[in-house]
Amino acid sequence: MEKNSYKISLSDIKKMLDEQVYIADDGVCMSVFLSLQLNKPLLIEGPAGVGKTEIAKVMAKAMQTDLIRMQCYEGLDATHAIYEWNYQRQLLHLKMVEHSGQSVDEKEKTIFSQDFLMKRPLLQAITHHRKAVLLIDEVDRSDEEFESYLLEVLSDWQITIPETGTIKATHIPQVILTGNRTRELSEGLRRRCLYLYIDYPDFEKEWLIVKSKVPGIDQKLGVEICRFMQTLRNIKLEKPPGIAETLDWAMALSALHIDYLDKKTVEQTLGVVLKDWKDTRQVQMSLSELFESAGIKSKIDDL
């Protein structure tokens, strides 16, 4: 099993994130650097849409390796996360060799071979031909039983398949786990990981992200979008918009050749920003106050 850490400096981390147009602060760079150096999983928590998943994608591109993603959900089990036997092919094979004269042991050995094994994300990651990035997305949505099994995999980097035996990792994957705190994760899982919390960006960082991701956007429009989004997150919403919604909105308004915000435009495009009808209704009813709080002056009559 590979034991050496990924040889890269802290400045290299910053550079590779910059090259992938990921605006990262010093805390993010340090967490990614230490995760690589210590060969430890990195648990990233924070509100939806702040770029947690994007870190794994950027790391895979920067390391020029493959990203293997496992989306967690309630009821996730081994057949979807680790491996599954291709029962249809096994049955077909047994039918084909029914009169071949093979012994039961020979038939069993054949159907429980690699040819009939369907590798799911965890098994794919530890048997990959090189160090891959394994993204375990929204781990807090999985059950506690699955989390317990995950602890064993992350500790020993091996998976036991009853029919064939134990498979050990040839290359330890770089693991990124993300969570939205829908439930509290176990202390055991947290102890095995480095930890990073990503919050909503401040105005300066958000405007920098918009400029880098939406090149050519009108500066006045971009600034007003960021001010408006900052103001939105300060009011109580069911689903506050993240940076992903900011970028979607910026690209949409830019494509419409709009160069400033007005209340009519905001009302017509709120579906890009808000994904809950109660939030939409609340914002529509308080647009004047939001514009004032954001320091945006509408240029048209909004009667």
pLDDT of residue 31: 93
pLDDT digits (tens, 9 = 90+) for 123-155: 899 989 999 999 999 999 998 888 888 887 888
pLDDT of residue 289: 93
pLDDT < 50 regions, the chain: 1, 3-4, 301-303
R_g (Cα) of the chain, nearest Å? 24
pLDDT of residue 11: 86
> How many other CB atoms are there within 10 angstroms of residue 268's CB atom?
11
Alpha-carbon torsion 107, 113, 115, 116, what sign?
positive
Structure-token pair, residue 173? 């994957």
Is residue 139 within 8 Å of residue 182, measured between CB atoms? no
Alpha-carbon torsion 178, 28, 205, 259, what sign?
negative
Dihedral, CA of residue 210, residue 64, residue 153 and residue 90, to nearest 10: 110
Structure-token pair, residue 76? 């996730």
pLDDT of residue 301: 44
Structure-token pair, residue 281? 């209704």
Rounded to 5 degrees, what angle do the CA atoms 27, 30, 32 make?
110
Structure-token pair, residue 136? 């375990």
Is residue 42 within 8 Å of residue 193, measured between CB atoms? yes
SS3 for the chain, per residue? Answer: CCCCCCCCCHHHHHHHHHHCCCCCCHHHHHHHHHHHHHCCCEEEECCCCCCHHHHHHHHHHHCCCCEEEEECCCCCCHHHHCEEECHHHHHHHHHHCCCCCCCHHHHHHHHCCHHHEEECHHHHHHCCCCCCEEEEECHHHCCHHHHHHHHHHHHHCEEEECCCEEEECCCCCEEEEEECCCCCCCHHHHHCCEEEECCCCCHHHHHHHHHHHCCCCCHHHHHHHHHHHHHHCCCCCCCCCCHHHHHHHHHHHHHCCCCCCCHHHHHHHHHHHCCCHHHHHHHHHCHHHHHHHHCCCCCCCCC
Q: Rounded distance, CA 41 to CA 192, Å?
A: 7
